[in-house]
Structure 1
Amino acid sequence: MRRSHTMGLSTHVLDTMHGTPAAGMAVTLYRLDATGHATPLRQLTLNADGRADGPLLAGAEVVAGRYRLVFAVADYFRARGVALPDPPFLEDVPLDFGIADVNAHYHVPLLASPWAYSTYRGS
């Protein structure tokens, strides 16, 4: 089966408190098995644009199944000098999602503040 050059997985995080990309936020990608056990695949720090420097998964790495992205939201806001309660309202934000079509591109953006987040399947 021929795969499209646009297939893969990417993410982008915007800091809605400051109105900027979430540069420096730590992100971990996991693959979930049928029992829900999470196996870490990749850890990264977002660049100045709030993106990974490359795809999170590409080529033969893209396998149909369940995945989890975990965004270190509280650590990011603490590093920005935001005074958070102890414990913070949001510490880590886990997003579970599925990849069904290995020939498609999956973009999982996050809009985050210390008190709220939202996501959607982007393009």
Structure 2
Amino acid sequence: MARLTTHVLDTARGCPAEGVQITLWQGDVPLAEAVTNSDGRTDAPMAADLALGNYELRFHAGDYLRATGQPDTFLDVVPVGFRISDAGHHHVPLLLSPFAYSTYRGS
């Protein structure tokens, strides 16, 4: 079983992104929901016991960007699909700005 964590950094403002709603999905089934704290992280792992398989984190970036007064944004919901192929800790960060994002498998 795998553990999944995430965090969001606001690269336009140079700070953690507080208040981003995140949902974890497997196919059409929502598995978990969380909101980032003042450190841009969720208070608990998104999941502590994921089976091997394909998943998607959906970051509700548009709501966050509008709430922080950033310019009219291009992004709304940012989906990040990934595969859990081994047990252990998986970390999926999101680096976010109003017009672009990037992600990677963190540690």
Listed one character per residue, the Cα deviations across residues 38-93 of structure 1 (whole Å, up to 9, x for unaligned) are 210111110000001011111xx320000000001111010001231xxx411110
TM-score normalized by structure 1? Answer: 0.83
* Unpaired segments ≥5 residues, structure 2: none
Q: Distance in 2 between matches of 1:29 and 1:57?
A: 9
List per-residue Cα deviations over 1:2-21 (Å, max 9, x = no partner): x7xxx510001000010000
Q: CA deviation at 1:113?
A: 0.4
Q: Distance between the aligned counterparts of 1:56 and 1:25, measured in 2?
A: 13
Structure 2 residue 24 is matched with structure 1 residue 29: yes
2:9 paired residue number: 14
Letter in 2 for 1:108: V
- What is residue 69 of structure 1 aligned with on the other side? 57
TM-score by length of 2: 0.94
Q: Which runs of 5+ in 1 are unaligned?
A: 33-37
- Equivalent residue, structure 2, for 1:99: 84
What is the total number of aligned residue pairs between the two structures? 107
CA distance in 2, matches of 1:107, 1:24: 19
Q: Does 1:118 align with 2:106?
A: no
Match of 1:82 among 47, 70, 94: 70
CA RMSD of aligned residues (A): 1.2
The runs of at least 4 consecutive aligned structure 1 residues that moved more than 2 Å come to none
